[in-house]
Amino acid sequence: MPTYDPTQFGFSTRAIHAGQEPDPLTGAVTVPLYQTSTYAQEGIGQHKGFEYARTQNPTRFAWEASMANLEQGYAGFAFGSGMAAIDAVMRLLSSGDHVICAEDMYGGTFRLFDKVLKRYGIEFSVVDMTNHDAVKSAIQSGKTKMIYTESPTNPMMKLTDIAELAIIAHEANALLIVDNTFASPYAQKPITLGADIVLHSATKYLGGHSDLVSGIVVVKTESIAEQLRFIQNAAGAVPGPMECWLCLRSIKTLSVRMKQHEENAKAIAEYCAKHPAIQATHYPGLEQHPQHDLAKKQMTGFGGMISIELGSIVKAKKFTTSVKLFTLAESLGGVESLVCHPVSMTHGSIPQEQRERLGITEGLVRLSVGIEDKEDLLADIAQALDAIS
Ligand code: PLP
């Protein structure tokens, strides 16, 4: 349960304090790293509530409490990666259940659904989540148990109207699941908009320093929490205490990092939108983004992710090797700027026809804008664009 009331304290205050009270034993201001696999018991059945570290770890509990508070949900559950978090959520389903999922999402999520979960008898309909009629007509009465989406999407930066989708899901007695990795809870809180489950690749903005792989799920209700707690322990895809400790360290600076990511990203997106070498710039903070009004309505920030269309694989290759401060690498959300080529790196698992329909072309390049000096990043982009012009 949240320890700091969101109506009483602001986001930045809660990011520093919620779940992170000084250690009752020593007064340590930082939550201790409980690097242990088991706990001494005084007698059979007599212990302090901690028996085995897959089930209970105080560092993990602190991280889960912190995120439950920031996402304004009932409880949090940490996992060994973002994919492990998604996999655990999908284990709420049974064979024969049907899921409606977004056509525009992280390639690894699509791969898990298409290549693994289908084999266990889970059925998927892949739809454009901005088309509410398409979502409604994909519902199979009594069978559809989940609507699964990302917002903003990876890499096309499309938004889902979370409040509208929650209504559609709940009318069908289905759960709405939102991958909030791109926004982070600083910029968007899906549970407050009606979602039932929110999840993250904590590897990205939550960890924020490109030094860990982890995942986290926050659920709205006690009954979903009970089921997920069981799955977390039974399947056991928990993170190590070190990852939880690093996440606790990182979450304290989420607000300041996100403000700088956004300030830099906005400047770069505005620059790119006017540059003749760029055919399209996708960033929800731009006024010309087709869903800018929705972004203003449901988000409290626009984040640090931008995609740009350079027109050809030759130009994409030249650009990604010409930038000097943006490192060519998978992943995103770290303090350092990264550039990625989705077709060959993160979205190879999406069928070519689907990729092309979505605009994930060979000329598309994704920027994860870091928190370096804005002027340096702009100069780097400018010289790389000169190189392809
Ligand atoms: N969700 C999104 C939006 C992602 O971008 C990623 C990874 O890039 C994942 C989930 C998977 O997370 P992880 O790499 O931590 O398993």
Q: How large a percentage of the chain has pLDDT more than 70?
A: 99
The amino acid present at 62, given as its one-letter code, is A
Residue 2 has pLDDT above 50, yes or no: no
pLDDT tens-digit series, residues 75-89: 999 999 999 999 999
Q: What is the mean pLDDT of the chain?
A: 96
Active site residue 229: no
Q: What is the pLDDT of residue 242?
A: 98
Q: What is the pLDDT of residue 3?
A: 66
> Candidates 89, 104, 106, 340: which one to mutate for ligand 1, based on the most atoms within 8 Å of Cβ?
106
Residue 262 CB–ligand 1 contact under 6 Å: no
> Candidates 87, 203, 330: which one to mutate for ligand 1, based on the most atoms within 8 Å of Cβ?
203
Closest Cα partner for 339 from 324, 351, 352? 324
Ranges of beta strands (E only) in the chain are 75-79, 98-102, 123-127, 144-150, 175-179, 197-201, 215-219, 280-282, 305-309, 327-328, 338-340, 364-368
Ligand 1 atom closest to the CA of 346, numbered from 1: 8
> Candidates 113, 204, 250, 307: which one to mutate for ligand 1, based on the most atoms within 8 Å of Cβ?
204
Q: 278 CA to middle of ligand 1, Å?
A: 27
Mean pLDDT of 35-61: 97
The one catalytic residue in 60, 91, 145, 204 is 204
pLDDT tens-digit series, residues 138-161: 999 999 999 999 999 989 999 999
Active site residue 355: no
Q: What is the pLDDT of residue 288?
A: 97
The one catalytic residue in 4, 34, 106, 283 is 106
Burial of 67 (0-12, 13-18, 19+ CB in 10 A): buried
pLDDT tens-digit series, residues 228-255: 999 999 999 999 999 999 999 999 999 9
Active site residue 257: no
Residue 264 CB–ligand 1 contact under 6 Å: no
Residue 1 has pLDDT above 70, yes or no: no
pLDDT tens-digit series, residues 310-364: 999 999 999 999 999 999 999 999 999 999 999 999 888 788 888 888 999 999 9
Asked if residues 251 and 205 have their Cβ atoms less than 8 Å apart, the reply is: no
Ligand 1 atom closest to the CA of 182, numbered from 1: 3
pLDDT tens-digit series, residues 361-383: 999 999 999 999 999 999 999 99
Please state whether the predicted TM-score (pTM) of the whole model is above 0.95.
yes
Closest Cα partner for 59 from 43, 74, 41, 37? 37
Residue closest via CA to ligand 1's atom 11 equals: 82
Mean pLDDT of 42-56: 97
Active site residue 179: yes
Q: How large a percentage of the chain has pLDDT more than 90?
A: 93
pLDDT tens-digit series, residues 290-314: 999 999 999 999 999 999 999 999 9
Burial of 36 (0-12, 13-18, 19+ CB in 10 A): middle
Q: What is the pLDDT of residue 350?
A: 81
